[in-house]
């Protein structure tokens, strides 16, 4: 994917019109994705997850996660922002997946359901490690999905994948991202993790009140806060408590 453009504004009476990410995109007009890995970073409420969800749906992915072939819906809570976006492509990846932490349970259940269909041959679950994602820990299932289901030459959109992963798990995800990038893949990731943000040559879009700016990981509040805390946790805790 090369670019996403705001083709029309959300209705004025919609909460979307006041969302910082939407206001910033309105000001910019579009966002380009020139790197293999692009991170969306910002505080809670900045709209990064809403934006990345809208991009995923505009690209044809199921709003609750999965591939373009997933057709389940447990609760239609996604916004209408996808209808306001135009996605520009320079290539058409053969693979793709939208992974979102908050609805991963529902996606795992859907995989089990379609695997149980007698006509499924070979079994669908083989593409996900051969074991139900529900039979693994949250972190194990995330990494199993990336290692076994993400085949390369794909577009992979991840919403806060760090929610399920330990620091060691994040290193494992970075390694898998490197493998997939070397196999002609692109990642769009909304994250709070300063570990993930260190991925080499990644674009980091910082979402503030009404602006989207390109920054280095060392310029993010996330990195600065973690660095300060780890250098002197006692001092920070004394201020907080």
pLDDT (tens digit, 9 = 90+) per residue, 19-47?
Answer: 999 999 999 999 999 999 999 999 998 99
pLDDT (tens digit, 9 = 90+) per residue, 189-237?
Answer: 999 999 999 999 999 999 988 799 999 999 999 999 999 999 999 999 9
And the tokens for 146? 């990336």
Total tally of structural domains belonging to the chain: 1
Global pTM reads 0.84
pLDDT of residue 105: 46
Has residue 100 been placed in a domain? yes
Buried (b) or exposed (e) across 104-142, using 16+ Cβ within 10 A? bbbbbebbbebeeeeeeeeebbeebbeeebeebeebbbb
Helix intervals (H) in the chain:
20-28, 48-58, 104-115, 138-144, 167-181, 221-231, 233-240
pLDDT (tens digit, 9 = 90+) per residue, 71-122?
Answer: 555 555 567 899 999 999 877 888 999 987 655 545 555 555 555 555 544 5
User: Domain range holding 231?
Assistant: 3-104+153-167+186-240
Q: What are the angstrom distances between the C-alpha of 9 and each of 125, 162, 199?
A: 41, 31, 33
pLDDT (tens digit, 9 = 90+) per residue, 136-171?
Answer: 555 677 888 888 889 999 999 999 999 889 999 999
Q: How many other CB atoms are found less than 10 A from the CB of residue 182?
A: 10
Has residue 172 been placed in a domain? no
Residue 62 belongs to domain with CATH number: 3.40.50
């Amino acid at each position: 994917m090369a670019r996403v453009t705001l083709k029309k504004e959300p209705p004025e009476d919609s909460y979307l019109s006041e969302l910082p990410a939407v206001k910033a995109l309105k000001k910019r007009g579009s966002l380009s994705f020139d790197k293999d890995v692009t991170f969306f970073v910002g505080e809670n409420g900045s709209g990064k997850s809403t934006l990345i969800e809208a991009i995923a749906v505009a690209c044809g992915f199921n709003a609750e996660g999965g591939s373009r072939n997933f057709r389940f819906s447990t609760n239609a809570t996604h916004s209408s922002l996808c209808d306001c976006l135009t996605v520009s492509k320079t290539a058409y990846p053969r693979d793709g997946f939208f992974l979102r932490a908050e609805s991963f349970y529902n996606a795992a259940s859907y995989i089990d359901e379609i695997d149980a269909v007698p006509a499924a041959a070979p079994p669908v679950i083989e593409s996900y490690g051969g074991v139900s994602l529900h039979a693994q820990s949250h972190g194990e299932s995330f990494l199993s999905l990336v290692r076994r289901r993400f085949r390369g030459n794909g577009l992979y959109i991840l919403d806060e994948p760090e929610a399920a992963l330990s620091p060691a798990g994040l290193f494992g995800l970075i390694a898998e991202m490197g493998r997939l990038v070397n196999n002609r893949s692109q990642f769009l990731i909304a994250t709070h993790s300063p570990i993930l943000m260190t991925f080499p040559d990644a674009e980091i879009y910082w979402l503030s009140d009404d602006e989207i700016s390109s920054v280095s990981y060392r310029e993010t509040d996330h990195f600065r806060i973690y660095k300060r805390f780890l250098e002197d946790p006692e001092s920070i805790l004394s201020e907080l408590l």
